Amino acid sequence: MVPFFVQIKCELGKAYAVANALAEAEIASEIYSTAGDYDLLVKFYVEHGTDIGLFVNKRFRSCPASRTPTRSSPSRRFEIVHSNSFS
């Protein structure tokens, strides 16, 4: 599976409707509300070889309150090592 993220700018006051539509469609792995230029950050997983651009276009065309989906594909996952010492 290949992970990727989509930042979504929604119509004013429609972020919760878009988030609920994504949750009900059961296509997103994680959905976050954000502050800033975009309203939602959504994580998806698709099968290797899936055209991510086509996936995004097909899925968001059916959600009229989402205006601007911007996608990004992570290139490397960093492991966080927690330490109790700050020395």
**Residue 14 domain flag:** yes
**Residue 77 domain flag:** no
**Residue 40 domain flag:** yes
- CA distances 68 to 6, 9, 38, 47, 53, Å, are 10, 5, 8, 24, 13
**Residue 80 domain flag:** no
Span 25-77, pLDDT tens digits: 898 999 999 998 899 999 999 999 999 888 888 877 666 666 666 666 665 66
| pTM for the whole structure | 0.74
Q: How many domains does the chain have?
A: 1
pLDDT of residue 76: 62
Instruction: Determine the structural domain holding residue 12 and report its residue range.
Output: 2-72
CATH code, domain with 44: 3.30.70.920
The answer to whether residues 4 and 72 touch, using CB atoms and an 8 Å cutoff, is yes
